[in-house]
Chain A
């Protein structure tokens, strides 16, 4: 019997990674095709949810069929096309634009869409043979057959006020030698187009648009080229268009997990795109569309939700200084600087006013989430908390404001910010450095917190602003295999800490992507190139093995218990309080498949791109 063989591609059945890691989509689109890691089926889905996490991931099952029987298949993903191969023909998907997916079958295979419906949802036929499927919260899909035929068995049930679960099948015709359909996505109303571009033309266009996007990223060593392309494509497909709460394009952290753009992550996206400063600048600015009157930018924003419960660290200063140094700023004009300056100034003002009601002169975290490191051990004694890492962010923020003020022709304000930066640096070194690490301080009690968290060494991002002895000490600890250095990157909690675990949490021991980026860039800026490269190489090599997940395992086995270190499903906040220490299979090393099936995130992709381009690109 012949064996189905997938063609080579960027992702796919013949590749190390596939649609279980990252779905097939298009820049700006809310729909995607994914593979479920448990049942290994393909689904058409929406990246929409009023909550942080996706709600109905496995929405519409896609099944190649012949004579009412399901066909086995393999698939290949290129940036502009998904190709499903069966024994009876191919089925291809592409996007004509962010709101129009196209599907084309050649040969004898049909394609079945199996819809799971909920109360009030309906499939309504149109006179011209199209079918409009209307979902609560998710929006609408219009299935418009272009060739071949389309059949569905949807039926409205008055007693349940819904169309019950149903199937839609695209069937090939002999004349057409297959079938073709357009799937329009919209929220309220839509109609089929008057005419449709040829399928191959849509594919070519999508590839071209992606290539233009990809060119924003710097050149990388050959061994990382494949993963770099996949990372860039991950970012590209995670950009969603403005709708609902969104006022401008934003990069969602996930397409099938956390459906939000997070405050500080947009700046990390900007840093990764240093090859096109004009585009990078947009990502520096985009969260400020939601800056409130007090100056705060939200923790996260999505099409269907926005959260001001906390903010995120003011990484924008670090990112701005990085881009001004790296990028070709001839593409920017005064207005670009003024715009960013005004917004950052207001944001800085918020930190000094709304995060220091006790009027200490040193801003605090009011919540651990505001550090970006939600469960870092620096928070073990409570909040409000003054902390070395926050001071480091603010030092760079005020320094960036000084630089932007000059470029905005506000020299008098520049001096104020430069002085503020120096004042904060003095405080950091005199009050928060204990000879080994930076500490934190509980404001209410004055208690000093010396934690094993990597956050305590994060001020290395200040580079040579730190005295040489501080740099040496931090470097020594980062390079120590007893403390933070592992074969796969820097761990988020000291290996010798009683709180270290790779078996649960976010910042309690896992190798976390933003940490790798911040530490390596900081070391490089501090003149510790070799160490930076050593960490970067280990991390990037590991990413090529394990993929672009935000968290990766530091070891194959838990050093404390000897148990296999495996990762469960993505951390679910609502379950966290009920979790016990009994944890198995955290990184799924016990599964038979060797490759990871953790969802990739645009966050990990951006940080990988920065590291591989900035640290290893010049190696």
Chain B
């Protein structure tokens, strides 16, 4: 419930369902004001209800249940619409008002009767509680933030409309689109309901094209498949397999196998134009870091992080294949994973870091970015000396280490002053566990705690600055409590919880 309190009275708002807002109040009136553009109009339906129809938004229907409506939206024929809407709901003789606001693309209809407000409120609470129960435990001091994070995801979980044919999680409620790889993060974060986790994992695959690609982002109106996003699904899938065990049934495995296999194959065909068995990015967004310096020499570029994602994806596909009885394919997937790993180590490790290279010419691209170390998420699949060298670089405070997590690029200075580095959630989720499993447990745990504390202090953010320069509000830049950052926080806080349980350390 949203409650607005004033010294004269209050208003309370809840959702009866996704398309119906209920409102009640006492002691005050409440005003709705909407700017209209030409062709948009608010009109009285002359049955006691009032509709507002907006371009590209839809139609709202205001239905007074208690109290009276004062409506002002003068029709302007030259504007082919009405003036801005002013709609007031004023209290009745008991000082109370109650209002229903329906929403649809068009043709909203009022209910014959309206259920009690408290009943709607209780249902909404129960729905949220059930959503909260999807998530794993976190250390006690993060419990309130976990509740907020669960709420941030819950409100972004939307139902089919327009081009959307299945439920999906939006980036946040200010951004109307769902990103493809975000669904994998959400699936990863849901540890207590395998059906829900699998549904979200597969949500974007409803829009997989005939070549196997999934869009970068999708919503009820728009498909953006200019580029795509990295195949983080393998990482998420392996964690799901670990968490759910055989609760991940044959049916779940069958549902995931084909779409994920086609996704893998797209990377190894359409995104391997020189046919050398090493996939490439054609565009920055495909790496997840739109401005990645890995593409400094042009496109297409064969990149180590992509190879790491696909190593894990083929390993996950091998497990799925085995569980659904496709044993030949299981062997084939494992071999693909192994071969890609060998290529990564032999051709992309330069002794100090993983490099990128142009497709076709194989010209090396030197760059400095924490994403060069994303292969650390392969953990003990990599030789110890590689892990140790990566760890040394990551833990160097002049390079990537900060007490709050790993910055995206090496430490930079301007006129002698340090420039704040950029610490993104979707880098930490790969680097920190990888570092821990490489044996650098204390350092990884410290970075994890630092990252979780940032979430506690500043709310789950898409990214944080290493420190806040005066006069800058990073939350205003990065946007707090997106569904993505909330899911990442829950995963990281739960990881800390698991370490605490294992080690006995708080």
A574: contacting residue among B37, B282, B283, B299, CB under 8 A: B37
- Asked if A369 meets B213 with Cβ closer than 8 Å, knowing A134-B283, A307-B55, the reply is no
Residue among B49, B215, B223, B299 making CB contact with A122, cutoff 8 Å: B299
State whether B292 touches A158 (Cβ < 8 A).
Answer: yes
CA distance A369 to B46 in the complex (A): 20
Q: Please indicate which of the listed interface residues B40, B75, B162 has the most CB atoms of chain A within 10 Å of its own CB.
A: B75
Is the CB–CB distance between A577 and B79 below 8 Å?
Answer: yes
Q: Which residue of B lies closest to A359 (CB)?
A: B47
Q: How far is the CA of A517 from the CA of B296 in the complex (A)?
A: 60
Q: Which residues 262-277 of B have a CB within 8 angstroms of A?
A: 266, 270, 273-275
Contacts A161-B285, A296-B106, A354-B107 hold; do A309 and B163 have CB atoms under 8 A apart? no
Tell me if B223 and A158 are in contact (CB < 8 A).
no
Residue of B53, B292, B293 with most chain A CB atoms under a 10 A cut-off = B53
Minimum CB–CB distance from A189 to chain B (whole Å) comes to 4
| C-alpha spacing A51/B75, complex, angstroms | 24
Q: Assess whether B397 is interfacial by the CB under 8 Å rule.
A: no
Say yes or no for B244: interface residue by CB 8 A criterion: no
How many Å from the CB of A442 to the closest CB on chain B? 9
Contact assessment for A573 and B37 in the assembled complex, using a CB-CB cutoff below 8 Å:
yes
- Nearest neighbor of B281 in chain A, beta-carbon distance: A124
Q: How far is the CA of A574 from the CA of B35 in the complex (A)?
A: 13
For B39, the chain A residues whose CB sits under 8 A away are 309, 367, 369, 374, 573
Distance in Å: Cβ of A377 to nearest Cβ of chain B: 7
In the bound complex, residues from chain B placing their C-beta under 8 Å from that of A160 are 291
Do A305 and B221 touch (CB < 8 A)? yes
A218 at the interface (CB under 8 A from B): no
The answer to whether B295 touches A156 (Cβ under 8 A) is yes
Name which of A67-75, A379-387, A482-490, A604-612 contacts chain B. A379-387
User: Contacts A156-B298, A189-B209, A573-B39 hold; do A127 and B221 have CB atoms under 8 A apart?
Assistant: no
Q: Is the CB of A158 within 8 A of B291?
A: yes
Judge whether B77 is part of the interface by a CB distance below 8 angstroms. Answer: yes
**Residue B106 contacts which of A137, A140, A292, A358 (CB distance < 8 angstroms)?**
A292
Contact call B282/A124, Cβ cutoff below 8 A: yes
In Å, the complex CA distance between A574 and B55 comes to: 12
Which of A51, A122, A294, A308 contacts B282, CB < 8 Å? A122
Distance between Cα atoms of A244 and B227 in the complex (Å): 17
Q: Which of chain B's residues have a CB closer than 8 A to the CB of A570? A: none
Whether B296 lies near A384 (C-beta < 8 A) is: no
With A and B bound together, what is the CA distance between A292 and B266 in angstroms? 37
Residues of A within 8 A of B54 (CB): 309
A443 at the interface (CB under 8 A from B): yes
Report B-chain residues with C-beta under 8 Å of the C-beta of A97: none
A412 at the interface (CB under 8 A from B): no
Residues of B within 8 A of A219 (CB): none
Q: Distance (Å) between the CB of B324 and the closest chain A CB? A: 27
**B44 interfacial by beta-carbon distance below 8 Å:** yes
The secondary structure that dominates the B interface is: loop
The CA of A381 and the CA of B54, in the complex, are separated in Å by 21
* A187 CB to nearest B CB, Å: 6
- Establish whether residues A134 and B46, one from each chain, have CB atoms under 8 Å apart when the complex forms: no
Decide yes or no: A368 and B298 within 8 Å by CB, A122-B283, A189-B211, A296-B106 being known contacts. no
Q: Which residues of B contact A163 (CB under 8 A)?
A: 299
**Residues in chain B near residue A381, CB distance under 8 A:** 75, 77
Contact B46 A444 (CB under 8 A): yes
Given contacts A158-B284, A158-B292, A379-B77, contact A124 B37 (CB under 8 A): no
Q: Chain B residues with Cβ under 8 A from A354's Cβ?
A: 107
User: Do the beta carbons of A375 and B290 come within 8 Å of each other?
Assistant: no
Is B46 a contact of A357 with CB atoms below 8 Å? Answer: yes
Residues on A with beta carbons closer than 8 Å to the beta carbon of B282: 122, 124, 132, 134
Q: Which residues of B contact A53 (CB under 8 A)?
A: none
Hey, which chain A residues are within 8 Å of B204, CB to CB? none
Q: Are A576 and B77 in contact (CB under 8 A)?
A: no
- Verify if A50 is at the interface (C-beta below 8 Å from B): yes
Closest CB in chain A relative to B116 CB, distance in Å = 26
Which residues in B have their C-beta under 8 angstroms from that of A140? 226
Q: How far is the CB of B63 from chain A (nearest CB, A)?
A: 12
- The answer to whether B78 has its CB under 8 Å from any CB of chain A is yes
Residue pair A357, B53 in contact (C-beta under 8 Å)? no
Are B226 and A308 closer than 8 Å at their CB atoms?
Answer: no
Known A120-B290, A158-B292, A159-B291: A368·B38 in contact at CB below 8 Å: no
CB under 8 Å from chain A, chain B span 249-307: 266, 270, 273-275, 282-285, 290-293, 295-296, 298-300
Q: Tell me if A245 is interfacial: C-beta within 8 Å of chain B.
A: yes
Nearest chain A residue, comparing its CB with the CB of B105: A308
How many residue pairs link A and B with beta carbons under 8 A? The number is: 165
Residues of B within 8 A of A358 (CB): 45-47
Given the known inter-chain contacts A189-B270, A573-B38, please indicate yes or no for A122 contacting B78, CB distance below 8 A. no
**Is B178 positioned at the interface, with any CB of A under 8 Å from its CB?**
no
Residues of A within 8 A of B49 (CB): 357
Interface residue B130 (Cβ < 8 Å from any Cβ of A): no
B5 interfacial contact with A, CB 8 Å: no
Q: Looking at B47, B221, B226, which has the most chain A CB atoms within 10 Å of its CB?
A: B226
Q: Is A366 an interface residue (CB 8 A)?
A: yes
Q: In the complex, which residues 143-166 of chain B have their Cβ closer than 8 Å to any Cβ of chain A?
A: 162-163
Question: Which among A188, A307, A366, A368 has the highest number of chain B CB atoms within 10 Å?
Answer: A188
What is the minimal beta-carbon distance from B34 to any residue of chain A, in angstroms? Answer: 14
Q: Is the C-beta of B222 less than 8 angstroms from some C-beta in chain A?
A: yes
Write the nearest CB–CB distance from A226 to chain B, whole angstroms. 36
Chain A minimum-CB-distance residue to B224:
A136
Report whether B285 and A120 are in contact in the complex, using a CB–CB cutoff of 8 Å: yes
Q: Are B77 and A292 in contact (CB under 8 A)?
A: no
Chain B proximity mask over A348-380: 1 for CB below 8 Å, otherwise 0: 001000100111000000111100001101011
Contact B107 A296 (CB under 8 A): yes
Contact B226–A121 (Cβ < 8 Å): yes
Task: Give A519 Cβ to nearest chain B Cβ, in Å.
Answer: 22
Complex partner residue of B59 from A136, A244, A309, A374, CB under 8 angstroms: A309
* Distance from B355 Cβ to chain A, minimum over Cβ atoms (Å): 16
B419 interfacial contact with A, CB 8 Å:
no
Q: Which of B488-504 contact A (CB under 8 A)?
A: none
Q: Determine the distance from Cα of A306 to Cα of B274 in the docked complex, in whole angstroms.
A: 41
Q: Which of B59, B213, B222, B283 contacts A189 (CB 8 A)?
A: B213
Partner of A188, one of B41, B59, B209, B295: B209
A120 in contact with B298 given A358-B45, A369-B80, A443-B46 (CB within 8 Å): no
A66 sits at the interface (CB 8 A): no
Residues of A within 8 A of B350 (CB): none
Query: Would you give the shortest CB distance from A440 to chain B, in whole angstroms?
Result: 11
Contact call B40/A309, Cβ cutoff below 8 A:
yes
**Residues of chain B with a CB closer than 8 A to A375's CB:** 77-78, 80
Q: A151 to nearest B CB, angstroms?
A: 15
Q: How near does chain B come to A357, taking the closest CB pair, in angstroms? A: 4
Are the C-beta atoms of A308 and B106 separated by less than 8 Å? yes
Tell me, yes or no, whether A225 is within 8 Å of chain B by CB.
no
Complex CA gap A190/B246 in Å reads 39
Q: Please determine whether A120 and B226 come into contact, CB atoms closer than 8 angstroms.
A: yes
Question: A156-170 vs B: 1/0 string, CB under 8 Å?
Answer: 101111010000000
Q: Known contacts A161-B284, A292-B105, A309-B59: does B163 contact A245 (CB below 8 Å)?
A: yes
6 cross-chain pairs, A with B, having the tightest CB-CB distances, nearest first? A308-B106, A294-B107, A358-B46, A382-B75, A357-B45, A189-B211
Interface residues of A (CB under 8 A from B): 50-51, 120-122, 124-128, 132, 134-137, 140, 155-156, 158-161, 163, 187-189, 244-245, 292-294, 296, 304-310, 350, 354, 357-359, 366-369, 374-375, 377, 379-384, 443-444, 505, 573-574, 576-577
Q: List, sorted by A's number, 17 A–B pairs whose CB atoms are closer than 8 Å.
A: A120-B227, A121-B226, A124-B282, A156-B298, A163-B299, A188-B211, A304-B221, A304-B222, A308-B59, A308-B106, A358-B46, A368-B80, A369-B80, A375-B78, A383-B75, A444-B44, A573-B39
Show the binding face of B for A, using Cβ within 8 Å.
37-41, 43-47, 49, 51, 53-56, 58-59, 75, 77-81, 105-107, 109, 162-163, 209-211, 213, 215, 221-227, 266, 270, 273-275, 282-285, 290-293, 295-296, 298-300, 359-360
